[in-house]
Amino acid sequence: MRRLIAEIRLNFKNQSLRWFISEQHPAAIWKNVAEINGALRTLARTETGVFVVPTAHLPYERTHFGTKSTLLLGEEFAKAYSLQRRNDRP
């Protein structure tokens, strides 16, 4: 993920390009969800301009987000982006 972010920033000639990444829902059936989310949080702490959007509070179906959750996830991305925009103001 770190390399992907670096390459996209290089391709767009924008080293400050922000990345908003949703965590994997803790109720997912995948065995390594905690490790993935831990790695995403570490990435956000160590890489400037990377932000993790939480999902644990969203409704979740067996293997994926349903329609309602997908819409709510979009709202969470919008909130995260808006918060960062406000924090950038002098």
Domain spans of the chain, in order of start: 16-88
- Give the separation between CA 52 and CA 80, rounded to whole angstroms: 9
Of 21-30, 43-52, 60-69, the range with the highest mean pLDDT is 43-52
pTM, full prediction: 0.83
Using DSSP's 3-state secondary structure scheme, residue 4 falls into helix
Evaluate if residue 89 carries a pLDDT over 70.
no
pLDDT digits (tens, 9 = 90+) for 39-57: 999 999 999 999 999 999 9
* Cα–Cα dist 56/23, whole Å: 8
- The three-class DSSP label of residue 41 is helix
For 53, which DSSP code? E
- What's the average model confidence in pLDDT over 58-73? 84
Answer left, alpha or beta for residue 49, where phi above 0 means left and psi between -120 and 50 means alpha: left
